[in-house]
Amino acid sequence: MRRIAVGIAALALAFGPASAQTNSTTEQAGAAGTTSVAPANAAEGDWVLAPKDYANTRFSALSQITPQNVKDLKVVWTFSTGVNRGQEAAPIIAEQTMFVVTPYPNILYALDLTKPGAPLKWKYEPKPSSAAQGVACCDVVNRGAAYDQGRVFINTLDNHTVAVDAKTGKELWKVKLGDINEGQTITMAPMVVKGLVLVGNSGGEFGVRGWIQALDEATGTVKWKAYNTGPDSEVLIGPDFKPFYKQDQGKDLGVSSWPPEAWKIGGGTVWGWISYDPELDLIYHGTANPGPWNSDQRPGDNKWTSGVFARNPETGQARWFYQWSPHDVFDYDGINENVLVDLEIDGKMRKVLLRPERNGYLYVMDRVTGEVLSATPFAPITSSTGVDLKTGRLIEVDEKKPVVGKVVRDICPAAPGAKDWNPSAWSPLTKLLYIPHSNLCMDWESV
């Protein structure tokens, strides 16, 4: 079998070097249509966070490449990472440098964009434990780095978050946040908000308890940690928590919606994308599937898994929660990106959250309150018939639910979802959301 090392390639227009030219119409449309606020001191040509901006739009206002000249793009240089596993991390760009983090062993490369061929400036090798490879559920991937204030932040498969000097590649701090011996890994891209590095864990398939933590970006000190299952005190649910729907209101639902003690191994990890609204001062993050997969072993809604939290970034205190798939029976998860957009709805501007969810529906939600405004299918669905907008609950098809010892056929979407982790993008010019979706169905037998 041929082994192929994954790399990156740069393309340039044949008529000249790249530039940071922007289009004034683009800038105006971006200001009017979204909350795509970039971190402070980030130039338009920079890409300092995995999702480009706090709103997770992944939109660039650079305008040198057009429909007319795109045919003239040519490869000008390539770079091999030397790692032949899934490359889910897009490069980030800051200080005229491209930073690329690889799958395990999570090497961080810095390439000099001011010189022909983008030569290597430095590389940082965190040397994660080799045993972490046996704990990762779904390849030994990494979904990216983040840059802020002269530092590059990455996560390693063996549960460390690291800060590296962007100019020299020197390790500034390294903090262990989880334990591979408990089934935990970290694969997500960190998000930096208000001087805090936000990180979540992976491993819902292995009986872990999901969490999100905030670290001081200068020192690595943990400022808060919020679990996504268990009692309110550990989920950081307090007086500010005001969910829109009745089923999410009540005390210690992260315990009572599970069989006794099951929440301690209930999953609900945070391995996807995080958004931030500076005006509301709220972060938005998804929570992954409950465990174990066999749903008969965990009757109840299994809160707070397969949903989305709005939290205060400085304290971690929850503001609201919504569950995409209560008692998730198909591993539909809930970690996809939340795209923050301001849209006119019924003649009124609304602060909304766009969510292409793995269960097959594109949700438009009020991101202030957590109310579902609409839920529209974007792929074939047989596992449900819609979302009840009065109650917020998914309307499930009983015939498609797993049964122990029986093969249930033609369940759509399949377990990877109508859209997996690979992110969508929003354009303020077209007012369209571009979704990399999958038309997949499955047969399922619980054992």
Cβ-Cβ contacts under 8 Å for 92 (sequence gap 6 or more): 47, 48, 49, 50, 98, 99, 144, 145, 146, 147, 152
Let me know how long the chain is.
447
Q: DSSP E strands: which ranges in 143-221?
A: 146-148, 151-155, 160-165, 171-176, 191-193, 196-200, 211-216
β partners of residue 432: 427
289 is catalytic: yes
Phi/psi for 183 (5° steps) reads: 90, 5
72 is catalytic: no
Which member of 106, 289, 302, 336 is catalytic? 289
Is there a contact between 97 and 113 (Cβ–Cβ < 8 Å)?
yes
Residue 30 CA to its chain's centroid (Å): 22
Question: What are the CA-CA distances from residue 418 to residues 270, 356, 380 (Å)?
Answer: 19, 8, 8
Cβ-Cβ contacts under 8 Å for 401 (sequence gap 6 or more): 295, 329, 408
CA dihedral 20, 167, 177, 203 (to 10 degrees): 50
359 is catalytic: no
Question: What DSSP line would sit under 27-44, residue for residue?
Answer: HHHHHHHB--PPPTT--T
Is there a contact between 211 and 298 (Cβ–Cβ < 8 Å)?
no
Which member of 46, 95, 158, 205 is catalytic? 205
Q: Pairing between strand 191-193 and 307-311?
A: unpaired
The SS3 assignment for 400 reads helix
Place of tokens 């979407």: 413
Computed from CA positions of residues 330, 334, 339, 343, in that sequence, does the dihedral angle turn out positive or negative? Answer: positive
Question: What are the CA-CA distances from residue 330 to residues 68, 197, 408 (Å)?
Answer: 44, 31, 12
Question: What are the CA-CA distances from residue 107 to residues 82, 120, 156, 169, 227 (Å)?
Answer: 10, 13, 9, 11, 29
Which member of 331, 333, 357, 371 is catalytic? 331
Is there a contact between 154 and 171 (Cβ–Cβ < 8 Å)?
no
Q: Which positions are annotated as active-site residues?
A: 205, 289, 331
